[in-house]
A and B are shown apart, each in its own frame.
Chain A
């Protein structure tokens, strides 16, 4: 009987060690570690962020900003979104153990370039990750430049577009010249 108890206790002991070695206490990760987003005035844009968590919990994301370029110290980011005119919000405040995908969204009221840090945390687990963020808020004047720089109309596509437009305008000019010459009264 004592031998059976010893075997059971031994099994429980080793099983406990097995469980402990596979369940991480408060592991928490976020990727990407940084991202940049171009916004048009008063238009909401979102960005995907992935969270790897060793536990389920309530997620809190806070945004802090600065106007004077990038700094790698969290405490250098003292401005709130309200102060610089950026509305920040996110979906899904409950995360599960494993990988979670959430959308972080921004809407800007003023033109400019802003550096920020998004602080993702599960306060009850004492762990958090800061993600460096750069927001470029473009007004109407900068929108064309943005369009050219974006992948939708890249440099090579832009050249093709210009060639097509030049050819089309040339064709129209020749066509109208032809009509004008043809309609000219013969002397």
Chain B
């Protein structure tokens, strides 16, 4: 009886191996290969309200006033805010800092500030950084009339590092 079991085990074993290890079978492997998307891409919130500010004073950003910038591309990028109207006497006094305290607390005037955001390393993920902005009108000459709802266009430009 044991020999019979051994015989059938051997027969089925050989048949099984013969089915798996067949030199004539060709395994076709298929994949869709996409070129690597080399793109500089960011995502920035499109409206920032600074609140009320009086000539001779400055705004005081809090931890709720973060401006979020996402690096959604495939490069390490530097992001730099710039005024569309360079000669704007009010918003030329915008200052930016990465943090409100610690090592990265350092306000720089618009035009001199930039923040680096690395690439996440994955195509379906992004890295995010945040910064703070204040309007410092302490050195500004007084104005004749109040400017209610005064707006300007700032553009956050990203460049590949």
Contacts and interface: CB of A to CB of B under 8 A. Distances in A.
Name the interface size band of chain A: 20 to 34
A54 to B, nearest CB: 7
A132 B48 CA distance: 28
Interface string B120-161: 000000000000000000000000000000000111111111
Interface in A84-138: 117, 119, 121, 123-132
25 contacts: A24-B43, A25-B46, A26-B46, A27-B41, A27-B72, A28-B43, A29-B39, A29-B40, A30-B39, A31-B40, A33-B75, A33-B159, A52-B41, A74-B80, A75-B112, A121-B155, A123-B153, A123-B155, A126-B47, A127-B44, A127-B46, A129-B157, A130-B40, A130-B157, A130-B158
Q: Which 9 A-B pairs have the closest CB atoms?
A: A29-B41, A33-B160, A130-B159, A31-B39, A27-B43, A128-B157, A128-B155, A123-B153, A26-B46
Contacts, number: 99
Nearest to A30: B40
Given A74-B157, A123-B153, A54 B43 contact: yes
A130 B72 CA distance: 15
Nearest to B75: A33
A129 B40 contact: yes
Contacts of B159: 33, 72, 74, 117, 129-132
Interface in B69-87: 70, 72-73, 75, 78, 80, 82, 84
